[in-house]
Amino acid sequence: MRVGIPKEIKVLEYRVGMIPSGVKELVDEGHEVFVETNAGSGVGMTDDDYINAGAVILESAKEVFDAAELIIKVKEPQLKECEMLRSDQVLFTYLHLAADPEQAEALVQSGVTAIAYETVTADDGSLPLLTPMSAVAGRLSIQAGAFALQKANGGRGVLLGGVPGVKPGQVLVIGGGVSGTHAAEMAIGLGAEVTILDRSLPRLEQLEEMFGGRINTQYSTKEAIDNLVVESDLVIGAVLIAGAAAPKLVTKGHVAAMRSGAVMVDISIDQGGCFETSRPTTHAEPTYVVDDVVHYCVTNMPGAVPRTSTLALTNATLPFVKALTSLGWREALKQDSYLANGLNVHNGHINFEAVASELGYDYLSAEAAISA
């Protein structure tokens, strides 16, 4: 199979869809790999590294898209990339379509077969291709929040860990999944006082055992959010409903009642955000202020640490890429229900029910698309 790896073009996105060691594995299996020049430069991987792994370097994204049957990316295709996609191609990347109707329409119009990393789902409900980036985003959320809390950056001037004689900062994490857990771990490490809200009692029990009483856990209700948001120095939004838009759990009223200089970090922004006052930002301009509360809503948070993120992501995606290249997309999805759950778009149809419902498209099941 002919595999294409274009350079990411989202603002300040330095990650790359595949590293040279992954390229070598594909080439050794008889596949051709085309890499856009400088695709790996943001993570310290040169064109020569890819050439030595067996890749062919091409000068433009258009050349890569024209040559490839399978496109491997990191972030959702920008609209000008969608224009280069074809109905005989497979796209394997993060999509987050529920929060991006323009991209969804462009993919539907292209006829491409699009498989989303974030909805590849295991039988136990875990998300093996979202997990590594969720871990990175969770850890970064505390770094970003701590930085934004500094007075010079618009924050309250609170040190999360406090010092002897001064109480630590109050951190509220809404959502006890992968991102929330990693956020809590980082906040605890800094010495903050941490509360996690979640609607799963078994998960709250796991978190209690995991952190050994170093955090407060509370069942997530509207009353709990009402009480805790306004008392917090830093609020982390880490809510996920796979493939669907995030619910708006923190309202404009909550934000207006928060302490001046408090900080909110919305990890859920890729799926529309879980704060009513959230709007997408970039690494170039990561924050804005609403009612004296600093908001950090960068849609590609792991892109801030592209080398770590790329290595973590490609470790997880490579087995699925190898299945797609060796079997073809139909047979790979037939043999792997995890991968079949990732099918979002095929031949002008939306194949993930939550996306179809959110955006108002007719839904065609992945099973029907695969067998067509």
Continuous H helices in 252-359:
252-257, 306-327, 329-335, 337-340, 353-359
Number of helical H runs and strand E runs in the chain = 15, 15
Q: How far apart are CA 229 and CA 246, in angstroms?
A: 18
Q: Which residue has the tokens 């609020």?
A: 235
Q: Does 96 qualify as catalytic in the annotation?
A: yes
From the candidates 198, 233, 266, 270, which is the catalytic residue?
Answer: 270
Cα–Cα distances (Å) from 31 to 3, 133, 164, 229, 321, in that order, read 7, 27, 60, 52, 11
- Residue 59: both structure tokens together: 């000068």
From the candidates 96, 182, 295, 346, which is the catalytic residue?
Answer: 96
DSSP 268: G
List of E strands, 2-89:
2-5, 32-36, 56-58, 70-72
- Contact in structure between 198 and 220 (CB atoms under 8 Å): yes
Q: What is the four-CA torsion angle of 127, 133, 136, 137, rounded to 10 degrees? A: -90
List of E strands, 66-169:
70-72, 90-93, 113-116
Cα–Cα distances (Å) from 235 to 74, 172, 174, 226, 296, in that order, read 27, 5, 8, 12, 10
- Contact in structure between 234 and 169 (CB atoms under 8 Å): yes
Residues forming the active site = 96, 270
